[in-house]
Amino acid sequence: MLAVLSALGTIAVVVAVGWFVGRTGVLGEGAQRVLATTAFTVATPALLIDTIAHADLHLLVSRSALVTFATTTVVALIAAAVLGLVRRRSAGDVVVGVLASSYVNAGNIGIPLTAYLLGSVVAVVPPTLYQQLVLGPLALVVLDSRNRRARGDEVAAPTDRRRLATLRSVLRRTLRNPVIIGTLIGLALAALPWSLPEVVFQPLSLLGAAAPPLALLTFGMSLAAPRVAAERAPRGDVAMVAVLRSVVHPALAIGLGTLLGLEGDALLAVAVVSALPTAQNVLVYAIQYRHGTALARDAGLVTTVLAVPALLVVAAVLG
């Protein structure tokens, strides 16, 4: 409990500094974008390369990874069933709702939280891979397909050719993601039968150390930005996403993890990651494809607020 409070307190202070910087404009216009881009394209990939290269690859076939993959899939299926079958939302809105319920903020919040709380960011590797290589691409395929159909593109091109073009577009977008590049390089280095000299990793370690504070400063600055009045998402949809994200997912992770014999820091790690708020990527996808924008925005805000009590409960249960 004390460790969680200490980690959250440290994070809150840095976020508050980011809010103050954004509110006063001391860094000038465009500072938030510069810091975010630096964190996304330089610091975070460096941190992932350095961390994963020194990690045990058995992590990806471990019980912890199984808990992450299984519980994330279950949460996604529940969200799809409720939004699609019960609430009768459009396919695009269902996809955004599924992502909002299952796609955790492993970057901006997960990396600094696990770094400060657990002393390592290895715990975010399984969800990052699953989200970036499975959930994200599948969602983009559906959203892209819906938009093409709405524009009538299917008339101009055979179905097989259209699907192939969509898959190629998603694959290119995925492989150009700096986080994915850093993850794949780290995996490749970890798979080598020999280790590179530590001097090679020292610059990466130095750059990677900037990732957590940069991400937190950026998040704080985003809270200081003036909000434009916009359409609100249906309360029922937001409530469902919040419950799945902040209650159901952590409970499933703790239950399945305990069933599989996880304990101590291993169980705490999967529980903490499962209690993280909705990733900001979801809003990016929603804006890009013009589906479920209000839900993505509201879910991100609500689950971020709920993450604090959720993490405290996790610490109390597992402490």
CATH of 2-318, one of 3.90.1150.10, 3.30.420.40, 1.20.1530.20, 3.40.50.10420: 1.20.1530.20
Q: What is the mean pLDDT of residues 103-115?
A: 81
Least confident of 45-49, 194-198, 269-273, 292-296: 292-296
> CA 106, 296, 145 angle in degrees (round to 5)?
95
**In whole angstroms, what is the distance from residue 121 CA to residue 133 CA?**
18
CB of 119 within 8 A of CB of 173? no
pLDDT interval class at 150 (50, 70, 90): low
> CA 131, 137, 143 angle in degrees (round to 5)?
120
pLDDT digits 0-9 by tens, 264-292: 888 999 999 999 988 877 877 787 677 88
H runs (alpha helix) in the chain? 2-24, 31-38, 44-53, 63-81, 91-102, 111-118, 125-130, 136-151, 153-156, 159-175, 178-191, 198-208, 211-224, 235-243, 249-259, 264-274, 281-289, 293-318
pLDDT digits 0-9 by tens, 132-147: 778 877 887 777 777 6
**In whole angstroms, what is the distance from residue 286 CA to residue 298 CA?**
12
Q: Look at residue 155 in the predicted model and tell me its pLDDT.
A: 47
Q: Look at residue 249 in the predicted model and tell me its pLDDT.
A: 97
Alpha-carbon distances, residue 316 vs 14, 112, 277, 309, 312 (angstroms)? 24, 20, 19, 10, 6
Whether 163 has a pLDDT exceeding 70, the answer reads no
3-class state of residue 24 by DSSP: helix
Question: Which sequence spans correspond to the domains of the chain?
Answer: 2-318
**In whole angstroms, what is the distance from residue 174 CA to residue 165 CA?**
14
**In whole angstroms, what is the distance from residue 81 CA to residue 166 CA?**
25
Residues 6 or more apart whose CB falls under 8 angstroms from that of 77 comprise: none
